[in-house]
Structure 1
Amino acid sequence: MSRPVIAVVGAGPGVSGSVARRFAREGYDVALLGVDEAQLTELAGQVEALGVDVGHAVTDVTDVEAATAAIQRFGDHTGRIDVLHFNPSAFREKDPLELPVAELLEDVALGVGALLTAVQAARPYLSAGGRVTVTGSMAADKPWHRAASLGVQKAGVRNLVRSLDATLAPDGIRAVSVTVRGTLDKQGPFTPDRVADAIWAAAHQDEADWQAEVPYSG
């Protein structure tokens, strides 16, 4: 039997990179989707050094056709996707009076809409026991007014995860967002590696007591 596979959407050097390495250490092969080729190449090397197979694709995840094609290529190659992790969001320092509607919608297309694209593309490769995980944020509940679109994205993606979980649950597939209630740092409880541990734990909840949102408070 082939190893389990995690596809990481919005892969880079932060939480998403820690998630990729965390699952690789548990024996998952890894597919990486992101926009920065240098970062993807470096992360792919780190993951491969852990003894698993890794593939990566440079893709704008807001490009529905390109993102769908990239995920389908991964799925066709591996024959399965066991975990789909979604990480991207846009940080734009503008308050609600400065933020044009077009920019708000652009940010929501990345931080929320791209999750729809990823899940719809991955669905044929997900089977019972499959999981969709999302990096959430306390900005969903306590937005900083100077980055108004971020709070909208995080509230929206959390809401979408609940709908995805209800839709997928009859097939034994579950979705969960991990709400990080703190600021990422290089030390302490909110390092990317510690958050990745929380995402691993959320993905491996007992299904009988499944929660579609799991807070991580360090």
Structure 2
Amino acid sequence: MTTKHSAIIIGVGPGLGLALARKFGHELGEVALIARSPAHLAPLLQELKKAGITAHGFAADAADLNGLRATIRQATSAMSPLKALIYNAAAIKPCRAVSLEPEGFAAELVVDVVAPLAAAQAAAPVLEANGGGSVLFTGGGFAIYPYADMAALSAGKAALRNLTATLAEDLEPKGIRTAVVTICGYLAEEGRFAPATVADAYWNLHVSPAEDRKPELTYA
């Protein structure tokens, strides 16, 4: 009998977030979805349950670091042993740097960089105790090719990319696969950028052998 494990997906919508929940929930057996709005979670949970996946929903704002950490603890205590945490949230607000309010910029960086760190720190001891697992982040092409109209997001994705590289040095020796998926393109209904196809790439990272591991997958 296959042992049941679980995954936590932070920042779940009907696109990539749902595809990640479907993939990891199917492969591991159980999944927790974390999003700001309980109303947005309800239809996604219903879809997963129809697919035979045990799914739980938790409402939390990534900008509330204490609330996010508490929600991760709540999710891990309610599920089978945790094997993967995926941070898929981002603050997406078009603005050029010359017009970017510094206080607003700081708030966006909390969601784009600080919260992923807080989530990883909360999950890492649990993953290590469970014999290892993965911490995966959703990055973006703006980290490599900054876009002036999305100044804050470009900076945030670049910071997340570098944070992942340093975090991996601490977590990989503990058996925790640590990587950012730098998606250089826009999600589409079909083809390479279909959410289900992208989600497969995350799963392949999760199960990748130690000798092949790098802290970034450039998905283009």
Name stretches of at least 5 consecutive residues in structure 1 with no aligned partner.
none
The partner residue of 2:161 within 158, 161, 186 is 158
Asked if 1:181 is matched to 2:184, the reply is: yes
- The one-letter code of the counterpart of 1:39 is H
The alpha carbon displacement at 1:194 in A equals: 1.6
Deviation, 1:190, is: 1.1
Aligned-partner Cα distance in 2 for 1:28–1:118:
21
* Matched letter for residue 80 of structure 1: P
| Partner of residue 51, structure 2 | 50
Aligned residue number for residue 211 of structure 1: 214
Q: Distance in 2 between matches of 1:167 and 1:159?
A: 14
Q: TM-score, normalised by structure 1?
A: 0.94
Residues of 1 paired with 2:213 and 2:166: CA distance?
Answer: 14
- The residue correspondences of 1:129-140 to structure 2 (distance < 5 A) are 129-140=132-143
Quote how far apart the aligned CAs of 1:78 are. Answer: 2.2
What is the identity percentage for the equivalent residue pairs of Structure 1 and Structure 2? Answer: 31
Q: Distance in 2 between matches of 1:130 and 1:17?
A: 20
Question: Are 2:140 and 1:141 equivalent residues in the alignment?
Answer: no
Greater shift in the superposed pair: 71-80 or 145-154? 71-80
Distance in 2 (CA, whole Å) between partners of 1:159 and 1:48 is 36
The 5 A counterparts of 1:185-200 are 185-200=188-203
Task: Indicate the residue corresponding to 2:85 in structure 1.
Answer: 84
Letter in 2 for 1:30: V
| Distance in 2 (alpha carbons) for counterparts of 1:131 and 1:100 | 35
Unaligned runs of 5+ in 2: none
C-alpha RMSD of matched pairs (Å): 1.4
Given that 2:4 and 2:81 are in contact with CA atoms closer than 8 Å, whether structure 1 keeps it comes out as no
TM-score by length of 2: 0.93
Pair 1:107-2:108 in alignment? yes
| Contact 1:5/1:80 (8 A) holds in 2 | yes
